[in-house]
Amino acid sequence: MTITTCVFDAYGTLFDVSAAARQAAEQPGREKLAACWQALAADWRNKQLQYTWLRAITGEHTSFWNVTMDGLDWAMEKHGLDDDPELREILLALYWELAAYREVPAMLARLKAAGKACAILSNGSPDMLEGAVEFSGIGTYLDAVLSVEDVGIFKPARQVYDMVGTRFGCAPDEVLFVSSNGWDAAGAAGYGFTTVWANRAGDPVDRLPHRPHHILSDLTTLPEIAT
């Protein structure tokens, strides 16, 4: 069937999750962070995701903001920065102001011009997503911002992907689902979506039952897949 609806993961897909640590490291007096900000950003992100999976498995759901804070606390302790509460507050504040990747606004504009419905489907809490969308200025291109908080479990649970059909009245094979997380693209492929993995890091494909249908290094050419 024809693709009618383009659905995007948010963090790492549309929004640069490394931006908070990078910007904090550029502030005066942050030499210790400057020496390790890339590793801290990676550890923060990895723990954030791991905590969503563990909470989904155990049925102990919490908000994405809570796992974001927990992941940061773990990463700061690992890198010897847990004695700096001011830095913690700076990093958390910056996470509400993540920039969109540079190709994102033009890509979304092309999809809208082609008549596609566009939405976010994210683990993010509604208030976090609202802040990121507003800060990045991409709200004009979005028909919906869907949060897992409506179903109380994190991706890749099928209940999350169900939200797309519920909101747009579309069949799974009418959906192009885009994520920077290989496991998310694989889960959505198993659900029945056509999937794109935004593999910005050039990582190997995850060894999972399903594979993404398309792999891109960024989202510039995504509209060509959707049409």
Catalytic residue list: 9
The tokens of 178 are what? 């885009």
DSSP letters spanning 99-124: PBPTTHHHHHHHHHHTT-EEEEEESS
Rounded to whole angstroms, the Cα distance separating 159 from 153 reads 8
The tokens of 25 are what? 């490291």
3-state helix, strand, coil in the chain (%, to 5): 50, 15, 35
The residue behind tokens 């009418």 is 174
The residue behind tokens 């942050």 is 30
The tokens of 141 are what? 């291109």
Cβ 1 vs Cβ 174: under 8 Å: yes
Cβ 128 vs Cβ 67: under 8 Å: no
